[in-house]
Amino acid sequence: MKSIMEIAPEVEKALNNSEPVVALESTIISHGMPYPRNLETAILLENEIRLHGATPATIAVIGGKIKIGLNQKELEYMAKAKNILKLSRMDLPYAVSKSLDGATTVAATMICAKMAGIKVFATGGVGGVHRGVNETFDISADLFELSKTSVIVVSAGVKSILDIPKTLELLETLGVTVIGYGTYDFPSFYSRSSGSKLYMKADTPEEVANLYKIKIKMEIKSGMLVANPISKVHEISNNVIDKAIDKALEMAKKSKISGKAMTPFLLSKIVEQIPRALESNVHLAKSNTALAAEISKKL
Ligand code: PSU
Ligand code: MN
247 lines ligand 1 (CB under 6 A): no
Is residue 108 within 8 Å of residue 92, measured between CB atoms?
Answer: yes
Q: Which of 13, 2, 21, 18 is nearest to 289 (CA)?
A: 21
> What is the value of pTM for the model shown?
0.98
pLDDT at 38 over 90: yes
Neighbouring-strand partners of residue 153: 121, 225
pLDDT at 1 over 90: no
> Burial of 93 by CB count in 10 Å (0-12 exposed, 13-18 middle, 19+ buried)?
middle
Give the chain's count of helices (H) and strands (E). Answer: 13, 11
Separation between Cα atoms, residue 264 and residue 251, nearest integer Å = 13
Look at residue 47 in the predicted model and tell me its pLDDT. Answer: 98
Active site residue 235: no
The active-site residue, picked from 159, 235, 286, 294, is: 159
Separation between Cα atoms, residue 150 and residue 21, nearest integer Å = 15
Strand pairing report for 65-68 and 85-87: unpaired
> Burial of 193 by CB count in 10 Å (0-12 exposed, 13-18 middle, 19+ buried)?
middle
Mean pLDDT score, 26-42: 97
Per residue in 55-64, pLDDT tens? 999 999 999 9
Q: Which atom of ligand 1 is nearest to the CA of 141?
A: 21
Distance 257 CA to ligand 1 centre (A): 15
Q: Which atom of ligand 1 is nearest to the CA of 262?
A: 20
Is residue 213 within 8 Å of residue 119, measured between CB atoms?
Answer: no
pLDDT at 128 over 90: yes
Domains parsed from the chain with CATH numbers: 5-298 (3.40.1790.10)
Q: Other C-beta atoms within 10 Å of 174: how many?
A: 15
